[in-house]
Amino acid sequence: MPRVIGLCMVIATVLIAAASDTEFAFATRPLVIATSPGVKDPIAALGSAFEVAHPGVRVQVAVDTSLDLRRTIAGMENRGRSFIGSGPIHLVAPGGDELITRLEQKYYVLPDTKALYATEQLVLVAPESLSEAPESFEALEKRNQIRIAVADRTTRLGVETERVLSSLRLKGKPLDMASDQEGILDHLLSGEADVGIMFGHQAARFPDRIRILATAPADLYKPVPHSVAMERYCPDRALCEEFLRFVTSAEAQSLLKRLGYGPGKVPQNPIQVPIP
CA distance 27 to 213: 46
Neighbours of 265 (CB within 10 A): 14
The closest of 227, 14, 220 to 116, measured between CA atoms, is 227
Residue 79's pLDDT is what? 54
Assign 89 a pLDDT band (cuts: 50, 70, 90).
confident
Tell me if residue 136 falls in helix, strand or coil.
coil
CA 67 from centroid of its chain's CA atoms: 17
Assign 1 a pLDDT band (cuts: 50, 70, 90).
low
Assign 90 a pLDDT band (cuts: 50, 70, 90).
very high
Of residues 219 and 270, more confidently modeled: 219
Per CATH, which fold does 3-119+225-258 belong to?
D-Maltodextrin-Binding Protein; domain 2 (3.40.190)
Whether 128 has a pLDDT exceeding 50, the answer reads: yes
Q: Model confidence over 15-68: pLDDT tens digits?
A: 334 333 444 444 589 999 999 899 999 999 999 999 999 999 999 998 876 556
Percent of the chain with pLDDT over 90: 54
- CB-based contact 261:96 (threshold 8 Å): no
Distances, alpha carbon 218 to alpha carbons 95, 121, 160, 212, 225, in Å:
19, 8, 11, 16, 12
For the ranges 130-134, 189-193, 271-275, the lowest mean pLDDT is seen at 271-275
Residue 102's pLDDT is what? 83
Assign 258 a pLDDT band (cuts: 50, 70, 90).
very high
Question: Considering the entire predicted model, what is its pTM?
Answer: 0.82
Percent of the chain with pLDDT over 70: 78
Q: Which amino acid is at 74?
A: A
Of residues 221 and 103, more confidently modeled: 221
CATH 3.30.450.40 fits 122-220, yes or no: no
Residue 21 has, within 13 A of its CA and on its CB side, a CA count of: 7
Q: Where in the chain is the domain with CATH 3.40.190.10?
A: 3-119+225-258, 122-220
Q: Model confidence over 179-237: pLDDT tens digits?
A: 998 999 999 999 999 999 999 999 999 999 999 999 999 899 999 999 999 988 888 99
Whether 248 has a pLDDT exceeding 90, the answer reads: yes
For the ranges 68-72, 77-81, 247-251, the lowest mean pLDDT is seen at 77-81
